[in-house]
Amino acid sequence: MKHLSLTARMSLMFMLAVIAVLTVAGLSFNELSRHHFMMLDQQTLDEKLESTQQILSNTRSHADLEGVLPQLKALLGAHHDLAAVIFANDGTVLFAEPQAFNVPEKYRLNPDHGMWEWEENGHMYRGMTAQVSTPDQPAFLTALLILDVTNHVHFFETLQRWFWLGLVISALVSAALGWVVARSGLRPLRQVTLVATSMSARSLKERIPLEPVPLELQQLVTSFNAMLARLDDAFVRLSNFSADIAHELRTPLSNLMTHTEVVLTQKRNLEAYEENLYSNLEDLKRMSRMIDDMLFLAKSDNGLIIPEQTRIEFSEVVTKLFEYYHLIADEHGIQLVVTGSGSVLGDKLMLDRAISNLLSNALRYTPAGKIISVTIKSTASAITLIVENPGETIKPEHLDKLFDRFYRVDPARREGSPSNAGLGLAITRSIVESHKGKIWCTSGNGITAFHMEFPQQPS
Q: State how far the Cα of 199 lies from the Cα of 328, in Å rounded to an integer.
A: 53
Mean per-residue pLDDT for 55-80?
70
The domain of 160 spans 6-170
pLDDT by residue (tens digit) across 117-127? 778 777 888 88
Report the pLDDT value the prediction gives residue 413, as an integer from 0 to 100.
40
Q: Is the pLDDT of residue 28 over 50?
A: yes
For residues 243 and 355, state if they share a domain: no
**342 contacts: CB under 8 Å, gap ≥ 6:** 313, 314, 315, 376, 377, 378, 383, 384, 385
Q: Where are the beta strands (DSSP E) in 156-281?
A: none
Is the CB of residue 184 less than 8 Å from the CB of residue 164?
A: no
Domain holding 81: CATH number? Answer: 3.30.450.20
Residue 62: per-residue pLDDT:
62
Same structural domain, 291 and 368: no
Residue 260 has pLDDT above 70, yes or no: yes
- 54, 162: one domain: yes
Is residue 337's pLDDT more than 60?
yes
The answer to whether residue 210 sits within a structural domain is: no
CATH number of the domain enclosing 274: 1.10.287.130
Q: What is the pLDDT of residue 372?
A: 92
Q: How confident is the model at residue 336 (pLDDT cuts 50, 70, 90)?
A: very high
Sign of dihedral through CA atoms 300, 304, 305, 310?
Answer: positive
Residue 277: closest CA among 254, 253, 259, 290? 259
Q: Quick check: 372 and 329 in contact, CB under 8 A? A: yes
Domain boundary among 104, 139, 170: 170
Asked if 325 and 383 sit in the same domain, the reply is yes
297 CB-near residues (< 8 Å, 6+ apart)? 405, 423, 426, 427, 430
DSSP track, 402-454 = TTSTT--SSTTS--S-TT--S-HHHHHHHHHHHTT-EEEEEEETTEEEEEEEE
Mean of pLDDT over the chain = 79
Query: In terms of pTM, does the model score above 0.75?
Result: no
Cα–Cα distance measured from residue 274 to residue 297, given in angstroms and rounded to the nearest whole number: 35
- SS3 state of residue 401: coil
pLDDT higher than 60, residue 310: yes
CA angle 343, 348, 351 (to 5 degrees): 80
Judge whether residue 98 has pLDDT over 80: no
pLDDT digits (tens, 9 = 90+) for 406-434: 666 655 444 444 455 567 788 888 888 88
Number of domains within the chain: 3
Please tell me whether residue 322 adopts helix, strand or coil conformation.
helix
Per residue in 198-245, pLDDT (tens digit) is: 766 666 777 777 777 777 777 878 888 888 888 777 777 666 666 666
In terms of domains, do 155 and 278 share one? no
Percent above pLDDT 90 for the chain: 11
Task: Please check whether residue 132 is in contact with residue 57, taking contact to mean a CB–CB distance below 8 angstroms.
Answer: yes
Q: Has residue 273 got a pLDDT over 60?
A: yes
Tell me, yes or no, whether 285 and 333 share the same domain.
no
Sheet with 116-120, edge to edge strand ranges: 93-97, 82-88, 141-148, 123-132, 116-120
Whether pLDDT at 299 is above 70: no
On whether both 296 and 444 belong to a single domain, the answer is no
Asked whether residue 118 is domain-assigned, the answer is: yes
Report yes or no on 190 lying in a domain: no
Residues 86 and 220 in one domain: no
Q: Which of 170, 203, 233 is the last residue of a domain?
A: 170
| pLDDT tens digits along 362-371 | 998 899 889 9
Q: What is the pLDDT of residues 169-182, one digit of tens each?
A: 988 998 888 888 88
Q: Which amino acid belongs to residue 347?
A: D
Q: Residue 329 falls within a domain, yes or no?
A: yes
Final residue before a domain boundary, out of 301, 332, 362 = 301
Instruction: Verify that 289 and 318 share a domain, yes or no.
Output: no
**296 and 327 inside one domain:** no
